[in-house]
Structure 1
Amino acid sequence: MGIQVWFIVLGVGVMTLIVWDGKRRKLKQRSSSAAGITPKKQAVEAAPISNQPAEPISPPQANASTVSTPNIEGLTGGSRIGSATHILGKVIADEPVLIKGRLEGTLIAPNHPVSVTASGHVASYIEGSCVDIDGHMVGTLKANTKATLLSRARLQGVVEAPRLECMAGAWLQIDVAQSANRQRVAMVS
């Protein structure tokens, strides 16, 4: 027999072993899941995500020469709208949301935190339990717990929140709505 025939026989043998190994792994996975044993990889992926809002951020020191802004990009889990992504329409999420790109439309995540980074641009409507804005937004912001406008925030529109925190450097041209009463506020800092 020639060398080519041996390579073919060897290749067929290797492929047979790969198929048998795959079948063995599937049977092992099925039997362990039927017995209630969760493999380590699945246990890590199925770990619950904390629904707690981010820790409170203390305001920057007045005498500090450099103003540090909190890192809202450290969101673990949840949905991310990347910096190269542009969404037109409605997004409804039942998990934390991080926006680095553009959203023109509606974002509703009433029980989870929503963050807009410095590169994020949002037009129209955002609703979340705790909303942090460090980018640009035109429209209505509704925070069920607290709205935080960080130092690079540029906001124009309506803010409806029981608590509103504004860091030095944020630019605002907004109406502030708190429950049924609405007050006209225009600030530039």
Structure 2
Amino acid sequence: MEKESFEKRLMDIKNDEDEKKRQRLKDKAESDRQSELQFQQKLEKQEVENKLKLEEMKKEIEEFEKETEELLEKKLEEWRLCNEVLCYCILVQQQFKTREKEFAKWLDFLKYPITRAKDRFVLFEKIRKKLKKSYKKEEIFCLHRTTLSAYEIVFEAWKKVESLAKQFPDKIFLLILQKRLVSVSDQIH
């Protein structure tokens, strides 16, 4: 009996040990399952966070690219405008050179009758004492015609400058030219 009781106790101990072992395995399996579940939850949470961070980074990159594109477009537009202004300046410079030549011709045209009247007057002064009265009248008449012609041309030029001054907002030069024409016409008259 003792043997049976010993065997029974041994069996009980073995059964207890087996039961404890099963319980430990069961606890370990449960612990592993809990750990796996926690790991999966942490992994999912981290994936969600990573996804959010990735979306945020994508959004930042898109905004940066958009800003960069806008800045590039703005700079390109500024560059285009600068090119247009440069082309316009070159065109204006060419037109100015052409107009400058035309204006120089116009001034020379004005200068010629004034110079002619002045030369005629100098000639008249030189020969005035030497001429007879009848020639003096004729010479005075020629001097008058020359002077009147110069005066009329200067007056017409003054009217032209006056009409230009009414057309253009920047008329300082034209007003100065008008004053000079008045001064010249006063000297002729």
Q: Smaller-chain TM-score range?
A: under 0.3
Higher Rg of the two aligned structures: 2
What TM-score do the two structures reach when normalised by structure 2? 0.23
User: Larger % of helix: which?
Assistant: 2
User: Larger % of strand: which?
Assistant: 1
Higher relative contact order (CA closer than 8 Å, sequence separation 6+)? 2
